Structure 1
Amino acid sequence: MGFLARIGAGFRRTGSFFGEVMSELKKVRWPNRKELTTYTVVVLVTVVIMAVFFWLIDLGISRLIDLILR
């Protein structure tokens, strides 16, 4: 197989790949506005809870290290 033939085969595979991607995207069930809002709120609340949790853990560990080093 020559160099140009391999390049052409690569372009055909790329085109086939994007065609399959578009086919799969048509099968996706996209969330409606209410679901999207609910999911966004859940993610934001979870992130805030985890941030506070790790902040408290970090604060506790740093205080413990301060006590040990004194």
Structure 2
Amino acid sequence: MNNNRNFFANVVSEMKKVHWPTGQEVVKYTVLVAIAVIFFLAFFYAIDLIITYVIELI
């Protein structure tokens, strides 16, 4: 039982050390991730179109 209390005390101690992002940071990182996803979506779509075109030529 003492191990459980020690574990939860350590969890609480570590959670106090966590840097929680501000609202502006969350919005900034969310926009950054959305832009990255859209970029890679367009990139792989273009690659797929090129590969499909090359295969159809053969």
Q: 4+ residue stretches of structure 1 with deviation over 6 A?
A: none
- Structure 2 alignment gaps of length 5 or more: none
* Percent of residue pairs bearing the same amino acid type: 44
Once the two structures are TM-superposed, the CA of residue 19 in structure 1 deviates from its matched residue by: 3.3
CA offsets 1:7-62 (integer angstroms, 9 cap, x no match): xxxx654x243432332111011110011100100000000000000000011001
Work out which of the two has the higher radius of gyration on C-alpha atoms and give 1 or 2. Answer: 1
- Structure 1 alignment gaps of length 5 or more: 1-10
2:36 to 36, 46, 49: 46
| Count of aligned pairs | 57
The two structures have a TM-score, normalised by structure 1, of: 0.69
SS at match of 2:36: helix
The Cα RMSD (Å) is 1.6
